Amino acid sequence: DAKTTQPPSMDCAEGRAANLPCNHSTISGNEYVYWYRQIHSQGPQYIIHGLKNNETNEMASLIITEDRKSSTLILPHATLRDTAVYYCIVTGTYKYIFGTGTRLKVLA
């Protein structure tokens, strides 16, 4: 599975969009990009995933570059409850490899 690189931490003002980047330059053609988040003392929560097209659901949007070497998770209107560690995972199989993720802190 491809390796991912994420910034260790980010801050975002409440009500503003949070844009979380992920680099995955070694991604192969059959690998998907998944995003999960983990709020303190809870298990990871699925957010969104995509292959090559941009995706949107009720939680977030996922923007994947045309060369698929990077992606951005967008939380359009961050709230205090979005404070969590966000993991970007690239995989073509059932096996997830989590990195250390990005610790997003939403500030009031």
Q: Which residues bind other proteins (CB under 8 A)?
A: 32, 34, 41-46, 49, 85, 87, 91-101
* Between 1 and 14, CB nearer to other proteins: 1
> Residue 61 burial (CB < 10 Å; 0-12/13-18/19+)?
middle
Q: Which is nearer to other proteins, 44 or 75 (CB)?
A: 44
Question: Which 3 state secondary structure label does DSSP give 69?
Answer: coil
Which H or E run contains 86? strand 84-91
Question: How is residue 87 written in tokens?
Answer: 């993991």
Nearer to other proteins (CB atom), residue 97 or residue 107: 97
Q: Nearest distance from residue 15's CB to other proteins, in Å? A: 28
